[in-house]
Chain A
Amino acid sequence: MSQMPQLAACPSCEEPLESGDRFCGACGYDLSAVPAPPDDHPTITMNGSAPRPPSAAAGAAPVAPGAPVTAVDWPLAPEADSSGTPAAVVLPADIEGRESGGSDSPGVRFDRPAGSPVPPHPQSSPLPPERPQAPAPAGPHARPQPQAPGQGHAQPPAHAPARAAVEPDEYPLAAPLPPEIPADELPTVEVPTIEASPADPRTADLATPAAGLKVCVACRAGQVDRDGYCENCGHAQPRERDHMEQELDAVAAVSDRGLRHHRNEDAFTVSATALPDGSPAVVAIVCDGVSSATRPDEASLAASRAANESLLTALPCGTHPQQAMHDAILAAAEAVNSLADPATSSHEHQPHVNAPACTLVGAVVTPTLLIVGWVGDSRVYWVPVDRSAPPARLTEDDSWAAQMVAAGLMSETEAYADERAHAITGWLGADAYELEPHTASFKPDRPGVVVVCTDGLWNYAEGAEEMAEVIPPDAADRPLHSAQVLVGHALDGGGHDNVTVAVLPFPAPQQGAGSA
């Protein structure tokens, strides 16, 4: 995201720009944040290339033209309201998927009356919250909300995963935990530390662990001095973040500096925990620092850690995973915002210094449910194990082009031909105008893998089909290998940006999640 294409107008406020402008003269938008990946073909909706209808009729699943209707017929969970049988303890399996539209705006649809505070923990409100009676207004942003493909029990086969309904039909919030569960009986949380990886797909020469031997990885002859340079050939030694790999039982992630950037500004966390019912929940968070901002590497690290911690706190307590994801994004934003304070005081005389900023994308996988959440242009793809079923992209970029298309102002072709297409319109950071965390939950009907990645990867495999072609067939069994292959694909393509990929098999395997 470091390229600075020549823009005709500000991606933010449409103010005409002059060549050489680095910031919009009207709104101050940082034009260097405009990414320009090669040959990007956006998928605006997961059900094909057609823009979503602004209001799909309830019960009618949007079907992509040309897409095999029967290919992905994920059955949807019965809605609590239509079944009329709200469960006392609602498992994630019972939850319909939906998307949140805004941060604290009424567009965020959760099952709480408008204006009522969000219960900090389900334990504090043992009863299911009251259903709101009136539809909540849409979020403040102009993007039309996707419609749920259907309401009620018997869903016709839906090509796309269920999206959020505009109407705030209630969300059978996860059942409260019995308050008497002592903390030590809560499911264990596994948060391994990130380690520098011994295996770098780029060159075998870079395979030495950075710590320990202290022999230069470039020339293999010199010792490494205290400044981190080889005493023989002078080459900087790989920093811990240049290449990171991590593998848990049911998730693996790989992050690499790429071939053109001198440091890795991406960050990730992967972890596993368990829901109150003992079923496993696997979490992956991937963040991409905005290169044009200051200290993007710190921003991504802080965001990924904060989001991960938030999820690991909320999920075992019974917070609905989608709510937990929403809260995690807010926590991550808070963490990134707090980075800006010292910077603004010490760099006041440097007008070109921006607040640290990053994108975030996360996924939570349970045995039955897949939750995604994002801000910015990092993405989640769904690739079924059975490759005869079509893959799908589960996120929608916060980018200029995606918004133009979603708002119906331009066709997809027009929008993506525009120089402004890849300007991100949403990010975590103190200079973000308005934080709009997007979350969605899906109930895949078949096993598959979830790919959580930064644009350093999807620039080289943009479409869901392209992504599916790159992923090894045994991805669900060997997530680490798959993540390595995906990173290798990006590096083979040129590695123009940092590359970070997390691979999560769905469903989360019951045995490996460290549940109590």
Chain B
Amino acid sequence: MANFSKSNVPQFSVEVYQNEYLPEGGREVNAIVTVTSTGGGTVGSAVAAPHLYTPGQSPDAAVAIMVDCSGSMDYPPTKMRGARDATAAAIDALRDGVHFAVIGGTHVAKEVYPGNGELAVADAQTREQAKQSLRKLSAGGGTAIGTWLKLADRLLSSADVTIRHGIVLTDGRNEHESPEDLKAALDASAGRFTADARGVGTDWEVKEVTAIASALLGTADIVADPAGLSADFTQMMETAMGKEVADVALRLWTPVGTSIKFVKQVAPTVEPLTDRRTEAGPRAGDYPTGSWGDESRDYHVCVEVPEAGLGQEMLAARVSLVIPHGDGTAQTLGAQGLVRAVWTDDMTASTSINPQVAHYTGQAELAQVIQQGLDARKAGDADGATAKLGRAVQLASASGNADTAKLLAKVVDVVDAAAGTVRLKAKVAEADEMTLETRSTKTVRVKK
């Protein structure tokens, strides 16, 4: 069993923000659960699977970089060059001792380095060899991301490590396999490794890339200019190196008679989790959260409880963090939060909305209306797009989500942000629209 008193293993804390007071007959309980892991996160501490950790051991992580080598990467040629440079930068960011591999992806997946179905262990020599081998990367062929993921899974699982992470770079649509194949590959990989996905240029499909990141509990983003790839890859790799605990799940216990209306991550991005529940014993279910470094995330839990009389109090949900083991047992990470329901006839108490809940309800709506607005715009529904994007401008302005507000301002002319009055821009750069769509789920936290 792990020794969790070690300073470089994170400690989890759970805070619950809610208005527990319900009016007579009230049934819906909303709570924002803030999960923070602290105490680990120093250089070289990419460790922490409890069953493997020993102090002084080298980083316990493996990374696979999947680079799109399809023919379109040569149009313009800067894309292939940018991808090569970015991969080199990511390799430079690898810490000594981390297992890694580079995969060249087309309609099939190809091991670029080290080959032989193995992973290399990072040191000065292997890093140099890997960068040399990048010269072999050349554009030509189609795109079948599912095959890349399968190869990455095979390679990553060959190492006995805790943190398994992938980086997917693509520039085009997943045209050479069916969506079902990609879905099957994602389902097979989910829970086995995490992955960040990046789209370079503007010829890729936003929903494909975000779906990959969502399924593999990583981030999605657009790198419209290939020159920006290096910085992005370095940053992604550093984040991956900072992870210390993998396969953490949010465990939700709810009493008999309650139903979970939804569970979603709301910060740093909106990520629905409701459908990703794994049953974990009586009345409990696990929602995957991936790996954790030194970070804090917020979750919105909405539970419907059976009606109870005034003056009654009940526990609507118990939130904890666990590392589920395959055999049905789970290691509890200590932290626990209680979501309560208290029925009162004090209208002042029962009608007030918790500021955190209100804020994230707004942020989730913001992500939703951006998506709906852009879909309407693509479908030629100018009125619908104007209404939805106007609401988005209003929400972004009111909640202080300045980044999203800036992205929106590139797609619409803002007349009155507070009122949500906007005009669609006649001409919108494709990159701007894709950036807005990809980043629409980014949220900001409550202004303190």
Contact = CB atoms under 8 A, between A and B. Distances in A.
B311 A236 contact: no
A233 B256 contact: yes
B311 A258 contact: yes
Contacts of A235: 255, 308, 312-315
Interface stretch (B41-49, B135-143, B336-344, B408-416): B336-344
A227 B257 contact: no
A229 B311 contact: no
Contacts of A232: 255-256, 283
A253 B127 CA distance: 81
A236 B313 contact: yes
A57 interface: no
A262 B316 contact: no
Interface string B313-335: 11110100000000000000000
A230 B312 CA distance: 13
A257 interface: yes
A320 to B, nearest CB: 42
Contacts of A262: 311-313, 342-344
Interface in A214-229: 219, 221-222, 227, 229
A1 B313 CA distance: 20
Interface string A233-253: 111100000000000000000
A258 B258 CA distance: 26
A221 B283 CA distance: 14
A202 to B, nearest CB: 10
A260 B256 contact: no
Chain B interface size, under 10 / 10 to 19 / 20 to 34 / 35 or more? 20 to 34
A232 B312 CA distance: 16
B187 interface: no
B312 A260 contact: no
B108 interface: no
A343 interface: no
B19 to A, nearest CB: 14
Contacts of A234: 254-256, 258, 305, 314-316
A51 B256 CA distance: 59
B227 interface: no
Interface in B354-401: none
A347 to B, nearest CB: 18
B367 to A, nearest CB: 31
Interface in B86-101: none
Query: Does more than half of chain A's interface fall in helix, strand or loop, or is it mixed?
Result: loop
B312 A236 contact: yes
B304 to A, nearest CB: 12
A123 interface: no
Given A260-B345, A262-B342, A262-B343, A233 B255 contact: yes
Nearest to A257: B311
A259 interface: yes
B346 interface: yes
B314 A229 contact: yes
Contacts of A259: 309-311
A236 B309 CA distance: 12
Given A2-B346, A227-B338, A260 B311 contact: yes
Contacts of B315: 227, 229-230, 234-236
Interface string B191-220: 000000000000000000000000000000
A301 B313 CA distance: 22
Query: Does more than half of chain B's interface fall in helix, strand or loop, or is it mixed?
Result: loop
B294 to A, nearest CB: 29
Contacts of A257: 311
A261 interface: yes
A233 B257 contact: yes
A225 to B, nearest CB: 8
B255 A230 contact: yes
B314 A233 contact: yes
Nearest to B21: A262
Interface string A431-458: 0000000000000000000000000000
Contacts of B342: 262
A35 to B, nearest CB: 14
Nearest to B255: A234
Nearest to A32: B348
Interface string A254-274: 000111111000000000000
Contacts of A231: 255
Contacts of A233: 255-257, 314
A287 to B, nearest CB: 20
B172 to A, nearest CB: 51
A231 B314 CA distance: 11
Contacts of B314: 229-230, 233-236
A232 B306 CA distance: 13
Nearest to B345: A260
B192 to A, nearest CB: 33
A201 to B, nearest CB: 15
Contacts of B308: 235
Nearest to A239: B313
A260 B310 contact: yes
A232 B338 CA distance: 15
Contacts of B316: 234
Nearest to B341: A234
A227 B338 CA distance: 9
A234 B284 CA distance: 13
B160 to A, nearest CB: 37
B32 to A, nearest CB: 19
A2 B312 CA distance: 17
B256 A219 contact: yes
A235 B342 CA distance: 10
Contacts of B345: 260
A219 B318 CA distance: 18
Contacts of B346: 2
Interface string A152-185: 0000000000000000000000000000000000
Contacts of B309: 259
Interface centre among B257, B305, B309, B313 (most CB of A within 10 A): B313
Interface centre among A234, A258, A260 (most CB of B within 10 A): A234
A261 B342 CA distance: 10
Contacts of A260: 310-311, 344-345
Given A233-B314, A235-B315, 15 more contacts: A2-B346, A227-B315, A227-B318, A230-B314, A233-B255, A233-B256, A234-B254, A234-B305, A235-B312, A236-B315, A259-B309, A260-B310, A260-B311, A262-B313, A262-B342
Interface of A: 2, 219, 221-222, 227, 229-236, 257-262
5 contacts: A219-B256, A221-B256, A227-B338, A229-B255, A234-B256
Which 6 residue pairs spanning A and B have beta carbons closest together? Answer: A234-B255, A229-B315, A236-B313, A234-B315, A234-B314, A235-B314
